[in-house]
Amino acid sequence: MTELVIDSSAGKWNYHVFLSFRGEDIRNNFLGHLYAELTRKGINTFRDNKELKGGEEISPTLLKAIRESKISIVVFSENYASSTWCLEELVNILQCRKDKNQLVLPVFFYVEPTDVRNQKGTFGEAIADHEKRFGKNNDKVNNWKRALVDAAGLTGLELKHG
């Protein structure tokens, strides 16, 4: 297995890694192990521990952490797309990939990349709910859909049952 090597001096970055995830799905299992291993290796990792209430906006602190990270690991899980906050993070992460050459590594945690890309299963249900809430031709929803397509097209890791 290839080992990810990250220079331990953050340089112009405040964080080596930013973790984007849906807390209710993975906070206390996979994410906890990933975060512990990254920090054990001396990798400065940003993980947001705040649980958002419905309707809360993504915080400026979180947006700043995304911009100041060298790598973003996006953990797509069953309910990732149901969170408008996760989707906003994803849009901002992909913008940093474009503007700052930030490395983006998608992890498909018991979800299929094709479900993310084509918005099928829980991803399709979540997008349909967002379209009902914000409108089918809403710019924000269209940005989220485009971000899911783009991120699912990146080389990443698939973690599956079995």
- At 107, give phi and psi (nearest 5°): -120, 125
DSSP annotation of 156 reads -
Q: Residue 30 in contact with residue 159, Cβ under 8 Å? A: yes
Q: Residue 118 in contact with residue 148, Cβ under 8 Å? A: no
The CA–CA distances, whole Å, from 38 to 3, 43, 73, 83, 129 equal 12, 5, 11, 25, 35
Sign of CA dihedral 153, 159, 161, 162: positive
Selected catalytic residue, list 24, 37, 89, 131: 89
Helix (H) or strand (E) holding 69: strand 69-76
Residue 89 annotated as catalytic: yes
Q: Which residues are paired to 20 by β-bridges?
A: 74
Active-site positions?
89
